[in-house]
Amino acid sequence: MVEGRFSALQYRDFRLFWFGQIVSLSGTWMQSVAQGWLVYSLTKSPFYLGLVAASGSLPILLFTLAGGVAADRFRKRNLLLTTQALSILPAFLLGILTDINMITVWQVAVLAAVLGTVNAFDIPARQSFLIELVGKENLTSAIALNSAAFHGARMLGPLVAGVTIASLGLPACFYLNALSFVAVIIALSRMDIRGARKDASASLVKDFKEGIHFIRSKPEIYRAILLIGVFSLVAMPFITLLPVFAGEVLKAGATGFGFLVGATGAGALAAALSLAFRRDIPDKGRFISIAALISSAALLVFSISANFILSFAALLLVGWGLVSFLATANSFIQLSVPDNLRGRVMSVFTLVFLGTAPLGNSIAGVVADYIGSPALVTISSIICMAASVIFSRKILQGRWYSKLL
């Protein structure tokens, strides 16, 4: 066991992977900002903004379970080398087409779908690869540091994108994102760990069913994934509605909107760093319950607040609670899974967490038009609080979480 704070960073292979991730994720956020601005410049239409976003998300819903099977069949390092190399192509093509003024919104949508398909195979492999880099004792630290890299890039990438667009133009953001994937490829190529390879069965369907059967046979994993699904479907759409709160409820305008988004990101980054600093959470099940309750209660406060400072503080807690809950749940699930099933189980985690987001956003948009955004978020927070209480009651029964202590 490696002792100390941020213990996952004491592993050379994880350090390579983590620093490569920071570069790559910053490029991804740069492209996200530039792509949104490109679509809006081409169409001036919120509909097409949603269409392109859905094009990137839908493949995760469709193909991530197949990605989990691939993660368990092949060496994860080799699979990640492949997905990172393939990720260069849509970014590079987007840059070229934009540079020569031949880009259309449909081309952007198709390239977003291509990248989404690659991500459907990349994410389960990436999630399940962490334990091979640091071992079970330091998995929570690794997941938390990975989350810190994501949220740090979430703040850095858009800032760099804004400067780049103003000074070098939109195509430069896409070229820089294509180049950022090289950092991960170099990191993966220099690793000593090659990863395990499972003897594949003759049937993809059999492999898939094996993963689903395992989840159904483990109430602790099933309940954790179900709680994640509730938050992803019901709570996460609040982010999409933040412009409404900033403009209509808090009367804070675009500047206030930026502060609200920043509050959520700052809370999330603080949670990720604090989890990484602690190295591990002994009572993971209880901590999941507490963090989920805090985030849903803070979301309730935000939904009924008409004061900007209170709303800002509430979103700090929402960001902290969501990342504390999700990162610990990720670790909790992975530590409950045999090595040969980890990719498939994490693909279900990815499907529930990311794949349901487009559905949740669509439902939220329709319902908010009828009852208003504050009322929708209030109802959503109450549903999440109820789900958290139910999950907490199972924890207090002490029937299953003690297996991980």
Residue-wise pLDDT tens digits, 164-174? 888 898 899 99
Q: For 66-120, how does the pLDDT look when each residue is reduced to its tens digit (9 = 90+)? A: 898 888 888 899 999 999 999 999 999 999 999 999 999 999 999 999 999 999 9
Residues 318, 403 share a domain: yes
Residues 374, 281 share a domain: yes
Residues 260, 126 share a domain: no
- Among candidate residues 190, 212, 246, the one where a domain is terminated: 190
Nearest alpha-carbon partner for 328 in 404, 249, 236: 404
Nearest alpha-carbon partner for 264 in 285, 225, 287, 235: 235
Helix pair 373-396, 219-230: axis angle to 10 deg: 170
Instruction: Give Cβ neighbours of residue 52 (< 8 Å, ≥ 6 apart).
Output: 35, 36, 39, 105, 108, 109, 112
Residue with tokens 């389960």: 124
What are the backbone dihedrals phi and psi of residue 286, each rounded to the nearest 5 degrees, phi first? -65, -40
User: Does the residue 315 lie in any domain?
Assistant: yes
Instruction: Give Cβ neighbours of residue 397 (< 8 Å, ≥ 6 apart).
Output: none
What's the whole-number mean pLDDT along residues 342-361? Answer: 82
Residues 180, 66 share a domain: yes
When divided into structural domains, the chain yields a total of 2
Instruction: Give Cβ neighbours of residue 309 (< 8 Å, ≥ 6 apart).
Output: none
User: Does the residue 195 lie in any domain?
Assistant: no
376, 241 Cβ separation under 8 angstroms = yes
Residues 302, 238 share a domain: yes
Residues 224, 175 share a domain: no
Residues 255, 133 share a domain: no
Residues 213, 140 share a domain: no
pLDDT-derived band at 254 (thresholds 50, 70, 90) equals low
Residues 360, 280 share a domain: yes
Q: In this predicted model, which residue has the larger pLDDT, 235 or 261?
A: 235
Residues 109, 79 share a domain: yes
* CATH classification of the domain holding 272: 1.20.1250.20
Residues 361, 287 share a domain: yes
First to last CA, the chain: 15
Instruction: Count CB neighbours of 99 within 10 A.
Output: 15
User: Does the residue 197 lie in any domain?
Assistant: no
Structure letter (DSSP) for residue 293:
H
Instruction: Count CB neighbours of 189 within 10 A.
Output: 10
User: Does the residue 196 lie in any domain?
Assistant: no
Residues 214, 183 share a domain: no
User: Does the residue 198 lie in any domain?
Assistant: no
User: Does the residue 222 lie in any domain?
Assistant: yes
Instruction: Give Cβ neighbours of residue 359 (< 8 Å, ≥ 6 apart).
Output: 233
Whole-number average pLDDT of the chain: 84
Written as six digits, the tokens of 9 are 């960073």
Written as six digits, the tokens of 122 are 């990349």
pTM above 0.75, yes or no: yes
Q: In this predicted model, which residue has the larger pLDDT, 34 or 53?
A: 34
- Among candidate residues 190, 221, 251, the one where a domain is terminated: 190
CA–CA distance from 294 to each of 6, 199, 236, 280, 301 (Å)? 24, 43, 15, 20, 11
- Count of helix runs (H) and strand runs (E) in the chain: 15, 0
Q: What range defines the domain where residue 212 resides?
A: 203-405
